[in-house]
């Protein structure tokens, strides 16, 4: 697809989405997340099912109300876009790492159970883990960007606010939503989820707003998280002693 000159759907382009349509999309986002966390499928390959549903349910709802225009959420992905993903991925690591260091001086941080579990798995399990998280991280972008566009539509099309004001509100709401989704993972540590996860989310959202391409923000998200995963795996499997 060609590069987008503006964000899709909030102003009736490339297709008008009604209030009922946005409600359906948001319900699908919630249902997809519920499938991810609630389906009791923990062993491979069945544990791929909730992850796929996490992506497919919201995109399916978008396709129901927008037809083939659901693809406006995405753009082409080549060398240039990979470079953008890499740049924003590194920026996410730096910004969230800095926030984590500073907050760690003030209050204890909670480790991500998925990261700590990597120390006890083998190479084949690592490959499956990375494959599943590859899909899940795309889903996390879909689960964040669709609510952002919904709030932007509400602010501009229904409340008559300017795009700039509506976008600021949409970024705040979607960041809070994304941070809240991570509360169970981090022991309901609100400070950590807002200060670190929220900070990372703002950079990732910026990557979408700049490029209008969810593949770019998903790529940046994958680079950020995989750097953490692979670093933890390497440390957990490092030889002991000199």
**59 with 139: CB under 8 angstroms?**
no
- Which residues touch 69 (CB under 8 Å, ≥6 apart)? 8, 14, 15
Q: What is the pLDDT of residues 196-238, one digit of tens each?
A: 999 999 999 999 999 999 999 999 999 999 999 999 999 887 6
Three-class SS of residue 203? helix
Query: What is the structure's pLDDT at 238?
Result: 66
- Residue 139, pLDDT > 80, answer yes
Residue ranges covered by each domain of the chain: 75-236
**65 with 149: CB under 8 angstroms?**
no
Tokens read off for 36 = 């991810």
Q: Provide the H-helix boundaries in the chain.
A: 19-38, 48-66, 79-104, 113-116, 123-153, 163-181, 190-192, 198-211, 214-236
Nearest to 55 by CA among 76, 36, 72, 40: 36
């Amino acid at each position: 697809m060609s590069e987008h000159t503006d964000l899709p759907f909030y102003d009736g382009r490339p297709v008008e989405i009604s209030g009922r349509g946005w409600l359906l999309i948001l319900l699908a986002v919630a249902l997809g997340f519920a499938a991810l966390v609630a389906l009791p499928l923990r062993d491979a390959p069945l544990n791929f099912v909730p992850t796929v549903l996490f992506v497919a349910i919201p995109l399916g709802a978008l396709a129901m109300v927008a037809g083939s225009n659901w693809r406006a959420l995405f753009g082409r992905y080549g060398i240039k876009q990979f470079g953008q993903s890499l740049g924003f991925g590194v920026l996410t690591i730096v910004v969230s790492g800095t926030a984590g260091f500073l907050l760690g001086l003030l209050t204890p941080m909670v480790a991500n159970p998925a990261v700590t579990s990597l120390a006890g798995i083998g190479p084949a399990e690592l490959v499956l883990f990375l494959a599943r998280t590859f899909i899940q991280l795309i889903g996390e972008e879909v689960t964040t960007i669709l609510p952002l566009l919904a709030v932007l539509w509400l602010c501009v099309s229904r409340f008559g606010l300017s795009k700039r004001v509506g976008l600021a509100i949409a970024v705040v709401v979607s960041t809070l939503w994304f941070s809240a989704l991570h509360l169970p993972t981090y022991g309901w540590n609100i400070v950590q989820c807002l200060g670190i996860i929220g900070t990372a989310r703002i950079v990732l959202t910026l990557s979408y707003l700049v490029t209008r391409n969810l593949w770019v923000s998903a790529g940046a998200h994958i680079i950020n998280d995989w750097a953490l995963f692979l670093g933890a795996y390497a440390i957990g499997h490092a030889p002991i002693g000199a």
